[in-house]
Amino acid sequence: MATARKKPASTNEQPGDARPGLRILKKYPNRRLYDTQTSSYITLADVKRMVLEGVEFEVHDAKTREDLTRSILLQIILEEETGGVPLFSTNALAQIIRFYGHAMQGVMGGLLERQMQAFTDMQQRFAEQAPGMPFSPEAWTGLMGGYAEQSKTLMNQWQEQLKQAGAIFPFGPKK
């Protein structure tokens, strides 16, 4: 389940137009976030907690009503990457950057999204089958075996898409 939904193509949404259950946060020019549900200011840590709890929300610029949800999520990722143990290596980040503006940008985004969803689904199935059970090395090995199979299938689909796209778009760095 995605925690933040994409803004519809129409930008004419009025404050009362949001779907039920969707929490609206407003970002003010002073960089403060305001939660319209609780009528209080919140921090990025509070937004992170909402993500972890699976709360669906959108962040809007208080003045322009522009959807800022992605920016706020990226801020949270930046904070996580700079503190503690990073999720992405320098090489992985460089590779991601190389896809921006490339003909394969959409394919790569879709692949990453499907991989993340497959991993999340696998974790959920494991938790349902073994509630309260800690992740032992053996359990993790079995879990990863299932994920590896799903990843292989997704990678094969991606390679096929690359072959099809290769006939249309040249590959290699943009010049």
28-62 residue pLDDT tens: 998 899 999 999 999 999 999 999 999 999 999 99
- Stretch 129-140: mean pLDDT: 66
Domain shared by 44 and 95, yes or no: no
H runs (alpha helix) in the chain: 44-52, 69-82, 90-99, 105-129, 137-166
Q: Is pLDDT at 152 greater than 50 in this prediction?
A: yes
- 60-74 as b/e, with b when 16 or more CB fall inside 10 Å? bebeeeebbbeebbe
Domain shared by 74 and 99, yes or no: no
Helix, strand, or coil (residue 175): coil
Question: Among 66, 82, 98, which residue terminates a domain?
Answer: 82
Domain shared by 161 and 100, yes or no: yes
More confident residue, 10 or 158: 158
pTM, two decimals, is: 0.65
Domain shared by 69 and 136, yes or no: no
pLDDT value, residue 99:
86
Residue-averaged pLDDT of the chain:
78
Domain shared by 75 and 108, yes or no: no
Top mean pLDDT of 7-11, 13-17, 27-31, 47-51 is at 47-51
Domain shared by 60 and 118, yes or no: no
Domain shared by 55 and 107, yes or no: no
Q: Is pLDDT at 5 greater than 50 in this prediction?
A: no
Domain that holds residue 44: 17-82
Residue 159 domain-assigned?
yes
User: In the chain, pLDDT over 90 holds for what percent of residues?
Assistant: 34
Residue 65 domain-assigned?
yes
Domain shared by 118 and 72, yes or no: no
Residue 141 domain-assigned?
yes
- 117-138 as b/e, with b when 16 or more CB fall inside 10 Å? ebeeebeeebeeeeeeeeeeee
Report CA torsion sign: 106, 5, 68, 53: negative
8 band by pLDDT with thresholds 50, 70 and 90:
very low
Number of domains the chain contains: 2
Report CA torsion sign: 97, 100, 102, 106: positive
Query: pLDDT (tens digit, 9 = 90+) per residue, 91-122?
Result: 988 988 888 888 888 888 888 888 888 888 88
User: In the chain, pLDDT over 70 holds for what percent of residues?
Assistant: 67
Residue 69 domain-assigned?
yes
Q: Is pLDDT at 73 greater than 80 in this prediction?
A: yes
